[in-house]
Amino acid sequence: MRQVFYSSTLTEEIVITGGDAHHLAHVMRTQIGDVITVVDAEGQAAEMVVTALTRDAVHFRMQRVLPAETAGREVILVQALLKGEKMDFIVQKAAELGAVCMCPIVTEHIVVRYDAKKAAAKAARWQKIADEAAKQCGRRSLMTVAPIVSLAELLQDPAYIGAADTVTAFCYEQEERQSMRAVLRGTEARRVTLIVGAEGGFSPAEAAAVTAAGGQSVSLGHRILRAETASLTALAVTQYELGNLDT
C-alpha cells in the first residue's frame, strides 16, 4: 500500500498540502476513494481514505489505525564522503535498511571537497532522497541526514561515540582479528554507530583517533570491498545481528 508522512498528529480527518499533496495527486495519481497509509510525526500509522482532491491539498478520513511497530535498537551510519553518485546510493539504501541517521564526514583520504554552500545543498538533496526511500519502503519514521562534519568534530559528539548507551564499530581494513559479529554480540547498547571510510580508507592517525574516542575496529572479512559495498554490508549485518530484520 502507498505511504505518505504527515507532519502533525493523526486525527479522524486530516489535510495534506504542499509538495506531498502534489506528489500524491500528480505522481501517484491518487483518486477519491483510494486508501493510503499515513504516518504521523510520532510514528503512528493509519489507513486513510482520500475524500477530496483540490489544487493544492488532499483530504483524508481515517479508516483504520495500524498496530504500533516494536522499536528496535538504533543504528547510525557515519559515512566518509564518496565521489560521484555513490553517496546518493548509500543514503537511499541506508534508509531502506532502517538506519535512524546518516552522518557524512570529511576524512583525510576523501576525493570530493565541498564549500559551505555546496555542503548544505548536498545535505538537503540527501535528506530528500532519504525521505523518498522511507515512503517507498514503508518504514514508520524518516531517516535523518546530518550536516557534513569533519571526523574530528564527530568524535567529540556523544550522539555518535563515547556515550554509555552507544557502541561504535569502526570498519577498518587493517583490522585482522575482531569481527563485526563479535562486537555486536558482546553488547547490549541501545545504539550502534557504524563508521565507514571513503575509497582510500582511513589514515593510521584517524584510526588511532577513533579507537581513542571509544570506537572498536572491526573487520568485514578478508575480501577487499568497495566503499559503498562496505557500508551496505555493515548495515545489513548489524540489523540482522540486532534482530531488527525480524518480521
231 pLDDT tier (thresholds 50, 70, 90): very high
196 pLDDT tier (thresholds 50, 70, 90): very high
Three-state DSSP at 16 gives: strand
Does residue 47 surpass a pLDDT of 60?
yes
What is the end-to-end Cα distance of the chain in Å, rounded? 17
Residue 60 has what pLDDT? 93
Rounded to whole angstroms, how far apart are CA atoms 170 and 234? 10
Residue 67 has what pLDDT? 85
Rounded to whole angstroms, how far apart are CA atoms 188 and 67? 26
Task: Give 45's strand partners.
Answer: 39
And the C-alpha cell for 184? 555486536
Judge residue 57's burial from the number of C-beta atoms within 10 Å of its C-beta, 0-12 exposed, 13-18 middle, 19 or more buried.
middle
Q: What kind and span of H or E run contains 102? A: strand 101-106
Domains in the chain: boundaries: 3-65, 74-242
- pLDDT tens digits for range 134-166: 888 878 888 999 999 999 999 999 999 988 899
Please say whether the structural domain 3-65 has been given the CATH code 3.40.640.10.
Answer: no
Mean of the pLDDT values across residues 104-130? 93
Residue 104 has what pLDDT? 97
Mean of the pLDDT values across residues 169-190? 89
Residue 1 has what pLDDT? 67
Radius of gyration over alpha carbons of the chain, in Å? 20
Rounded to whole angstroms, how far apart are CA atoms 123 and 101? 12
Which of 110-114, 145-149, 157-161, 242-246 has the weakest average pLDDT? 242-246
Sheet-wide strand order for 35-39: 3-5, 35-39, 45-53, 57-65, 13-17
More confident residue, 42 or 65: 65
The maximal CA–CA distance of the chain, rounded, in angstroms, is: 61
Phi-psi region of 20 (alpha: psi -120 to 50; beta: other; left: phi over 0): alpha
Nearest one of 160, 142, 141 to 150, comparing CA atoms: 160
Does residue 170 surpass a pLDDT of 90?
yes
Task: Kindly give, in sequence order, each residue whose CB lies less than 8 Å from that of residue 48, ignoring residues fewer than 6 positions away.
Answer: 10, 14, 35, 36, 37, 38, 60, 61, 62, 63
> 190-208: string of b/e by CB count within 10 Å (b at 16+)?
ebbbbbbbbeebbeeebbe
Residue 165 has what pLDDT? 92
Note the CATH architecture for domain 74-242. 3-Layer(aba) Sandwich (3.40)
Q: Write down how long the chain is.
A: 247
More confident residue, 239 or 1: 239
